[in-house]
Amino acid sequence: MSQTDLASKLGIHKNVLGRYERDEVKPSIEIARKIADILDVSLDYLTGKTDIEMDKNTQKRILEVSKFNEEDKNHIFSVIDAFIAKRKIQSIL
């Protein structure tokens, strides 16, 4: 996506976006949230707090699981752990 396209979607001038990119000024939290939404990344990824790019569907699922009771969370985590172990074994073979 071009700088002009992103600025247009944000409703700001591309020169302002350029200043954000050059770290001359910081965007407001509202603009940062809009940028994250447009780019389909988390605010943590956008701000460099994490290097893990997580799509919105994965984020939604994680948030839903976090609302489960402990027993249900443990069942979900057991299934995930099994898939992770399987994947590790497959990568070795």
Q: Where are the domains of the chain?
A: 3-46, 56-92
Indicate yes or no: pTM above 0.95.
Answer: no
pLDDT in tens, 52-76: 887 778 888 999 999 999 999 999 9
Q: Are 46 and 56 in contact (CB under 8 A)?
A: no
Run of H or E residues at 86: helix 70-92
Q: Are 66 and 74 in contact (CB under 8 A)?
A: no
State yes or no: pLDDT of 24 exceeds 80.
yes
